[in-house]
Amino acid sequence: MFVIEPMPPQIPDDLVALLERVETATVGHVLHSGFVDRRIAAVLPGKRVAGTAVTIRIPHADSALLHWLTAEVRPGDVVLVDRCGDDRHACWGGVITNAMKLAGVKAGVVDGPATDFSEIVRVDMPMWCRGPSSITTKLLGLEGAVNVPVSVGGQVVHPGDAVLCDESGVIVLDPARARAVAEKAIAMQENEIVLLDRLRRGEKLPDISGARAMVEAKRVR
């Protein structure tokens, strides 16, 4: 059985642009939730992309629904794949990479392995996964679901969520609070530029951060 829900509304272009100014590690100073398992890592380090979550759940060795989805995705989407715990079969390879890239998909995030990394590099398709595998899925036509809540890297993802991916990881945000999170993170990044300038001018980090005062206040003498 295949469950197909409607494609979610896409987050505004200006919010996407704002999020793409943010480092996920900066958000990590503010939030402790929303992050997918750090072992879901970038195939192309140095990429930072944001977009609208399109979710898909496919079991084990069956990738028929992922093939189907390549005709439905839109420019600006980020496809997040729940593999139902399967860490053996690579559902995303060279053909899917090309089909998703041609459709304008911003990135793929797979809670499992992928394959054909050289093709991912050649096509320049931002991709996050649990590493490579030579064992691939097949067109079995068994079951799956599109645009339902899924679990990716221990994180619940809803269709239409805002997704931010970079070399440090992937974070999923409620679109209603994504702008506030992004603005706070950007302010922190701007403050960091000032901090680095102070270091270059000779100040010491523990004096700027307050760590020296904390340690000295409780130092055993």
Q: Are residues 31 and 101 in the same domain?
A: yes
Per-residue pLDDT of 28-51, as tens digits, reads 999 999 999 999 999 999 999 999
Same domain for 192 and 99: no
pLDDT of 186 reads 97
User: Are residues 91 and 36 part of one domain?
Assistant: yes
Burial class of residue 100 in the structure, from the number of CB atoms within 10 Å of its CB (0-12 exposed, 13-18 middle, 19+ buried): buried
pTM: 0.94
Residue 66, pLDDT score: 98
Mean pLDDT of the chain: 97
Summarize pLDDT for 3-31 with one digit per residue, the tens: 999 999 999 999 999 999 999 999 999 99
Instruction: Report the domain count for the chain.
Output: 2
Q: Is the pLDDT of residue 176 over 90?
A: yes
Q: How far is CA 56 from CA 3, 39, 79, 127, 206, in A?
A: 10, 20, 7, 15, 46
The letter for the amino acid at 168 is S
- What does the pLDDT read at residue 109? 98
Separation of alpha carbons 86 and 91, rounded Å: 10
Give, as one character, the DSSP assignment of residue 105.
-
Kindly state whether residues 120 and 197 are assigned to the same domain. no
Do 92 and 154 have their domain in common? yes
Cα–Cα separations (whole angstroms), residue 214 to 72, 106, 130, 196, 203: 55, 44, 40, 21, 17
Strand pairing class (49-57; 107-110): unpaired
pLDDT for 63 equals 96
pLDDT attached to residue 152: 98
| Same-domain pairing of 33 and 138 | yes
Q: 130 with 213, same domain?
A: no
Percentage of the chain with pLDDT > 90?
A: 98
* Alpha carbon distance 122, 120 (integer Å): 6
- Asked whether residue 179 is domain-assigned, the answer is no
164 and 190 assigned to the same domain: no
Q: What distance in Å separates the CA atoms of residue 89 and residue 53, rounded to the nearest whole number?
A: 23
% of the chain at pLDDT higher than 70: 100
Which residue type, as a one-letter code, is found at position 69? L
Provide mean pLDDT across the span 79-88.
Answer: 97
Going by their DSSP bridges, the two strands 2-4 and 144-146 should be labelled as parallel
**Residues of the domain holding 82:** 2-174
Residue-level pLDDT at 221? 83
Q: Which residues contact 83 (CB under 8 A, 6 or more apart)?
A: 58, 59, 60, 89, 91, 110, 111, 112
State the distance between the two ends of the chain, measured CA to CA, in whole angstroms: 70
My answer on whether 40 and 63 are in the same domain is yes
The Cα 103–Cα 105 span in angstroms is 6
Determine the pLDDT at residue 141: 94
pLDDT digits (tens, 9 = 90+) for 119-167: 999 999 999 999 999 999 999 999 999 999 999 999 999 999 999 999 9
Give tens-digit pLDDT for 177-214.
999 999 999 999 999 999 999 999 999 999 999 999 99
Residue 60 has pLDDT above 90, yes or no: no
pLDDT at 25: 97
